Structure 1
């Protein structure tokens, strides 16, 4: 796919996700698969192109929207695992420019578009984190089991371990009380990292 084709497919996916009442559930499922496919393609091309980083952050937002609206669309185990893997790698691979304080800016509706233009790596990292947390909220068991699987299969990559712990820290911060049934699993992940 070229950039124009990807943009057109993103627009179609955006429409199907945001106009739920008018879209057939079968089409919604196809769009969610399309978003995942586009995310894979765009992720591989985003390493070399700033434009593809912008497209990737839009795709991550679409994934987040899809997860919020269509809980059942991502019930497919492999599909959900693939999404989490892509998001973890995006969160780990992109290093925002500037100091650590700058990368901890809370993402909200007002500053998202400014950050997106001025620092696409920060935008991508924040959207990846937000989407991971969205998955964690809607599918806590699957989210934690995949994070645990990823932690167990880690090579000695200190950066990746730190990224997993960072995501887990944010997850606990936002959804702490509801995570009581998963304390053992969370402890195992922390010990592994």
Structure 2
């Protein structure tokens, strides 16, 4: 029998399921070999992208290893160890007065919103499934202050995306028919 705080992983290795205070990770952020390198690549890619944008060396930058929007200042969360987005936005703020961050994910971008909760230089907009869904934040009824401005928008993703799809995306499709396959979204 294995100790209560150990569990077997998919590869048969034993893993401690208790929170590790040394690195402030919990059950949804397990420690693994190469974790430090993974964090370097994720955060480094996003910061490098922001630097290139700031220096006008590119118009578009994508970090496919990024988007870890749940990590908080003091803890990893939701399989996100380092919030590369926050680091990239901080880099962008060195050259730009304001940044608009648009998060399109099934989960609320709680870590990014929390990081910039008290500043008027960053506005976060999150399109996500809400309610009793991880991380349990971003409900439409919750209003978060934005320094006297309207709240950081928590948008009903399906209705807004349906409008955008119907009015902006579908008209561009060359195979447009009277019965589009995306019609169930409209």
TM-score bracket, normalised by the shorter chain, equals: 0.3 to 0.5
TM-score under structure 1 normalisation?
A: 0.37
Q: Which has the higher contact order (CA 8 A, sep 6+)?
A: 1
Query: Structure 1 or 2: larger strand share?
Result: 2
Query: Structure 1 or 2: larger helix share?
Result: 1
TM-score under structure 2 normalisation?
A: 0.38
